[in-house]
Structure 1
C-alpha cells in the first residue's frame, strides 16, 4: 500500500506521520497522540489564534510577532507565570494557523517546518 499524505493534528498543529496500525482508519485520525486527544481545543486556544491574527493585522504585511506577544495579550502582563504558561499553547495555535494557510513560522529570517522548529520563532502573516 502507498502511504497516504500526512495530516495535521487538530490540537497541536504538528504533522501526523502515517503508521501501519492506522491503515484501516486513517481517514478518522485527527490527533497525533493521546495527550493531544485528551487536551483537544480549548477556548483559550481560540483566543490565542485570534490574538496572533489581530497582532499580525496591526503590524502589517511582512512584519512578524513573537509568540510571547500573543501570550501576553491573552494571559495579561501582571504575572509572568500567567502568560509564560501560555507559551506552548501559543506555539500550538501558530502551528494550527500554519496548517490552515494563514501564517508562516520564521527562524533566522527563513520559513521553517512548524513541526520540527526548536528554539525561538517568529510568526508572519502570509501575504
Structure 2
C-alpha cells in the first residue's frame, strides 16, 4: 500500500480505496488536519527545530519542547503538539525522532521523543 506524510501533522497517510481516483490530491490525514491547515507558527517551529539542531554537536538531539519554548515564550505548553507535528514533518527528510536513543516511527511514537539530524546525510 502506498503511503505519504500528512502535510499538516506529519503522520503517515495510508492509501484507501475511497481515495483511488484522487490519491495525488490527498494532503491531510483527517478532517481536523484539513480544517487546521498550516499556520505561520508551524513554519516558525520548523525553523526553531533547525536552528536548535544547528547549534548542537553532530549527533546531539533536542526535545520538541525546546522549539516550543523558543517560539512560544511563556505560553510554550500550548505549542507542544504543534512542535511535535513540526518535528514529524521534518522527519520526512531532515531529522529523525528517537526514544531511548533508538529511531522510532514518528507516526506511532507515544511519550517523550527527541529529535536529531538524520544520520548519514
Indicate the TM-score class for this superposition, using the shorter chain for normalisation.
over 0.9
Does residue 1:63 correspond to 2:60, yes or no?
Answer: yes
- Other structure's SS at 1:89 match: helix
Unaligned runs of 5+ in 2: none
Query: How far 1:112 sits from its partner (Å)?
Result: 0.3
| CA–CA separation in structure 2 for the residues paired with 1:125 and 1:70 | 15
Aligned residues: 119
Cα distance in 2 between the residues matched to 1:112 and 1:66: 14
Q: CA deviation at 1:60?
A: 2.1
User: Which one of 88, 91, 95 corresponds to residue 84 of structure 2?
Assistant: 91
Q: CA RMSD, aligned part only?
A: 0.8
Q: Does 1:20 align with 2:17?
A: yes
Per-residue CA deviations over 1:81-124 (Å, capped at 9, x if unaligned) read x100100000000000011x110000011000000000000000
Is the partner of 2:33 in helix, strand or coil?
helix
Q: What is the aligned counterpart of 1:38 among 24, 35, 49?
A: 35
| Deviation per residue, 1:38-72 (Å, 9 max, x gap) | 11110000000000000000012100001110000
**2:101 aligned partner:** 109
> Highest CA radius of gyration, 1 or 2?
1
Q: TM-score, length-normalised on structure 1?
A: 0.91
Distance in 2 separating the partners of 1:19 and 1:126 = 30
- TM-score for the superposition, normalised by structure 2: 0.96
CA distance in 1, matches of 2:102, 2:51: 22
Task: Check if 1:120 corresponds to 2:112.
Answer: yes
